[in-house]
Chain A
Amino acid sequence: MIRRTASIVAALTGAAFLLAAVPLNHAQDKPSKTLKIVSSLPQTGSANAQTTSIVNGIKMAIEERGAMVDGFKIEFEAMDDASPQKGNWDGQIESANAKRAIADPAVVGYIGTYNSGAAKISMPLLNKAGLVMVSPGNTAAGLTKPGLGEPNEPAVYRPSGKVSYFRVVPADDIQGAVACEFCRNDLKAKKVFILHDRELYGKGIADVFKKTAEATGVEVVGFEGIDAKASNYRSLVTKIRAAAPDVVFFGGTTQTNAAQVLKDLRAGGAKIPFVSPDGTFEKAFIEAAGKDSVTKEQGGVYITFGGVPSEMLTGIGAKFVKSYQAKYGEIPEAYAVYGYEAGCVLLDAIDRAETKDRAAIIAAVAATKDFNGALGTWSFDENGDTSIRTMSINTIEDGAFKFVRTAGGAAKAK
C-alpha cells in the first residue's frame, strides 16, 4: 500500500514534469534526443534484495557511458512487477508495466523479467508492439527454444513472427540436466524425489531434471507439485520418508517456499541432500532457511546457477564486482552481473543502430556477435539465447554460499 501510494505520487509528479516539458520541446522544435530504458522486476517481496542489485547493475551500465549513447541521452526507470498481496510477481502488474512501456514513445528497451512466468505475459505484448526485451533472469527453456516447453511455445510469444526477446542467462534445459548429473555423479544418488512449485520456471526445470534422471538410470521415486502458500509440508515429508530417496530436488524459488520445504524435511528427520535451482541462489533463501537446516551434517544444500557466482567472475566481470562493492558497499547478489550485462548489451545495440527507432534496435540486439562483456565473450543465437553454457554448483557453508565446481560448459544441448 505504502509503496503503491508512493508510486502514484511519483507518477503524478512525473506527469506534471512531462506536461511542463512538452511546450518547451515544441518551442525549440527539435526531435526528442532522449531514449528511455525501463526494467520490470519484482521489488515487493523477498526477491527484492536480488532485484535491487539487478537494478543497480543496469544503472551502473548506464552510468559507465555517462548516460549518453551516440549523442542521445539515456533515461532509466525501474518498474516493480510484484504486488504486496502476492509478495511475488503479479501478472496484472507485469501486463500493466508492459503496456505502459509500449505507450511511451521514448522507451526503446525493456529489461525484464526476473520470473519466467511473468515473461510469458509481457513477451507477446512487447513482441506485437515491436519493443525489444532483454531478460537478466528468465531461465524457462520453453520461452525461446522450440520443442522444450508446450507445443505452442515459443511461437505463442512471437505474434509478429520475429524474435524480439533475448536473454543473457543460460536456460533450464542445461540447468536441469546439470543438476541431475551432479546428483548422480557427486552425490551418488540412485533414487530421487522431485518436487516443484507448479510455476512455469519451477515445473519446467523439474521436468528437465526428471527426463535426465530417467535417461541416465536414476530412479524417480516421486514427482509432485506443492502448494507454495502452505504453512508447512510435514505430510509431504512423511510421503518422502516412505519413498526413501537419496536426494530431494525442488524446482522452485525462495518466493515459492523452498526454505519451508527444506526446514520440514529436516524437522521430519530427513538428512539427505537438498538440491534446488538458481531461484534459491540469493541471501533471502539462507535467511529464511535458518542456520540449522542448511548444514552439511543435516544432509547439505546444493544450488545450481546459470553462470558463476560474483566472486568467481574474471575480466570485465571482476571489474564490475569491484566497482559495485565500492559503490554499494556489498558483494552483489548473483544476478546483479546479469542486470549489468543486459544493460550493456542493450546500450551497445542502441549505439550500433543506424536510426534509434524500436525496429532498428531489435535488429541491432539480434546481431550481437562476440560481445565482450562481464560474462565473457558471447553471442545471441537465432532464438535469442546466449551462447554461454557454463553452470556452477554451489553449497551453503557458515551462512554463505560457497562455490563447489563448474559444470555443463562443454555439453551442447539441442
Chain B
Amino acid sequence: MQQTVAAAEFLAACALSRVDAVGGFARDGLLSSQEVFTQQLVTGLSNGMIIALIAIGYTMVYGIIELINFAHGDLCMLGAYFALTVVGALGVDQWAGTGGIMGLVLVLVGTAAFCGSLNWSINRLAYRPLRKASKLSLLVSAIGASFILVNLGLFWGGLPMDVFADGTSSAAPKAFPALVSAAPAAQIGDVIYSRTDLLVLCVTLPLMVALTYLVRFTKLGKAMRAVAQNPTGASLMGIDVERVIGASFFIGGSLGGFATVVYSLYNQTVSFQMGYRMGMDAFIAAVLGGIGNLPGAVLGGILIGVIRSMSDGYLEARWTNTVVFGILILILVFRPSGLLGAKLREKV
C-alpha cells in the first residue's frame, strides 16, 4: 500500500513539467536562519537514508557471519557502473511521465539483481570456502575482493560507450545523466525539497519497511535470525545454514544496488573510487547504530547524514570528518555495542 502511494506521489512529481522555480539566488535575498536549518536537515536526511540503505548490507552480513564485508562499498560502486551502462544502452537522458517511471523501476530492479547476484557470488567464491578458517582470513579475503572490484570498475570505465566518454579515460569520474531533475518538488520559502530528495525517500522507505517485514514475519527471516543467534543450533533444527547465508548476501547486495542507483541519480557522478567513501560512511553508520542490528543501521545512517550536513553547514567543511569520528568515539566509549546494539553474548 505504502509503495503504491509513494509511487503515485513520485509519478505526480515527474509529470510536472521542468520548471526552474529558483533563479539566480543572488536576487532572491538571503535565506533566513530557520530556512537554512531546514534545508540542511533535508540534505542530511537524504544523504543519511542512502547511507542507511548501504549500512543494512554491512550489518546483515555481520549479524550472520560476523564478517566486516569490506567489499560492500565497492560492490555498490560496480552497481553504479552497471546502472550507467544500462542507462547508456537505453539511450535516455531525461525521464518524464509514465515511461520515465518504468525506466527508473527497470534500472533499480536490474541493478539490485546485479548487485545481489554479485554479492552472492562473492560469498560463494571468496567467503564460503573460508567458513571454518579464522575470522581474520575471512577479513583479508574481503579486502582482496574489494581490490578486485575496484579494478573491475577501473576496467569497466574504459568501455567504448558514450556514457563512458567513449572509453578514452577509464579512471575519470563519469557524469551520471540527470534523469530525475533537481528541480523542486516542493518549496516553502527558500527551502527546496527537490525531486531527487523525493526519489531518495520513495525508494528507501518502502525498502526498509519491506525488509523489516521480511526479517520479522517470514520463514526466511526467522531462519536468518536463528542462524545469527546460533548457526550450529539452527542447522540442528534443519535449517540449511549456507542457503540462509547466501540469501542474506543476496538481500544485502540488492539493497546496496537500490542505494547505488539512488546515489548516482542524487549526486550525478560515478567513479571507480566512490566505493571507499560509500563503504566507510555506511560502516561507521552500522557501528554507530550497533553492528548486527538492522534498525540500528538505519538510525546510524540517518544520524551520520544529518551530523555531516550540520557540520558542513555550521562549522567548516574541513572539520566534518573530525566531528563524525569524534561522535563515534564518544558513543562507543559510553555504549560499546552502539546505540541499539545488544550486549554480545560470548558464543560457546
**A residues with CB within 8 A of B:** 1-2, 44-46, 48-49, 84, 87, 198, 224-227, 229-236, 238-239, 241-246, 254, 259-260, 263-264, 266-272, 283-284, 287-292, 299
Q: Say yes or no: is B81 at the interface (Cβ < 8 Å to chain A).
A: no
Residues on B with beta carbons closer than 8 Å to the beta carbon of A288:
172-175, 269
Cross-chain contact of A84 among B43, B154, B194, B196 (Cβ < 8 A) = B154
| Contact among A232, A234, A238 with B36 in the assembled complex (CB-CB below 8 Å) | A238
Q: Report how far A264 CA is from B317 CA in the complex, Å.
A: 15
* Cα separation A49 to B168 with both chains bound (whole Å): 8
Q: Name the segment of B122-130, B246-254, B291-299, B306-314 touching the other chain.
A: B306-314
A227 and B172 in contact (CB under 8 A), knowing A238-B313, A288-B269? no
Within the assembled complex, what's the spacing in Å between the Cα atoms of A306 and B253? 47
Docked pose: A243 CA to B28 CA in angstroms: 11
Question: Which single member of A48, A224, A232, A268 contacts B318 (CB below 8 Å)?
Answer: A224
CA distance A87 to B269 in the complex (A): 15
Least Cβ–Cβ distance between A190 and chain B, in angstroms? 10
- Given contacts A84-B150, A224-B316, A287-B165, is CB(A238)–CB(B39) below 8 Å? yes
- A residues near B151, Cβ cutoff 8 Å: 1-2, 84
Which B22-55 residues have a C-beta within 8 angstroms of A? 22-26, 28-31, 36, 39-40, 43-44, 46-47
The reply to whether B269 and A260 form a contact with Cβ atoms under 8 Å apart is: yes
User: Is the C-beta of B192 less than 8 angstroms from some C-beta in chain A?
Assistant: yes
Closest to A267 in B: B182
Of B25, B177, B278, B320, the residue contacting A269 (CB under 8 A) is B25
Stretch at the interface among B201-209, B260-268, B327-335: B260-268
- CB of B269 within 8 A of CB of A242, answer no
Q: Residues of B contacting A284 with CB < 8 Å?
A: 169, 172-173
Cα distance A402–B175 when bound, in Å? 21
> Which of A45, A224, A299 is the most central at the interface, judged by chain B CB atoms within 10 Å of its CB?
A45
Cβ contact within 8 Å between A45 and B178: no
Hey, which bits of chain B sit against chain A, CB under 8 A? 20, 22-26, 28-31, 36, 39-40, 43-44, 46-47, 147, 150-151, 154-155, 165, 168-169, 171-178, 182, 184, 190, 192, 194, 196, 263, 266-269, 271-274, 276-278, 281, 308-310, 312-313, 316-318, 320-321
Pair A287/B174 contact, Cβ less than 8 Å: yes
Q: How far is the CA of A291 from the CA of B165 in the complex (A)?
A: 12
B307 to chain A, nearest CB (A): 11
10 CB contacts below 8 A, A to B, read A45-B171, A46-B271, A87-B271, A236-B312, A238-B36, A241-B31, A244-B28, A244-B30, A269-B22, A288-B174
Check A244–B29 contact: CB distance below 8 A.
yes
Closest CB of chain B to A68's CB: distance in Å?
33
Of residues B22, B175, B277, which shows the largest number of chain A Cβ atoms within 10 Å of its Cβ? Answer: B175
| A227 neighbours in B (Cβ, 8 Å) | 317-318, 320-321
**Residue of A with least CB distance to B165:** A287
Distance from A247 Cβ to chain B, minimum over Cβ atoms (Å):
10
Indicate if the CB atoms of A271 and B24 lie closer than 8 Å: yes
| Cβ-defined contact, A260 with B267, below 8 A | yes
Collect the chain B residues with CB atoms within 8 Å of residue A246's CB: 26
Nearest A residue to B150 by beta-carbon distance? A84
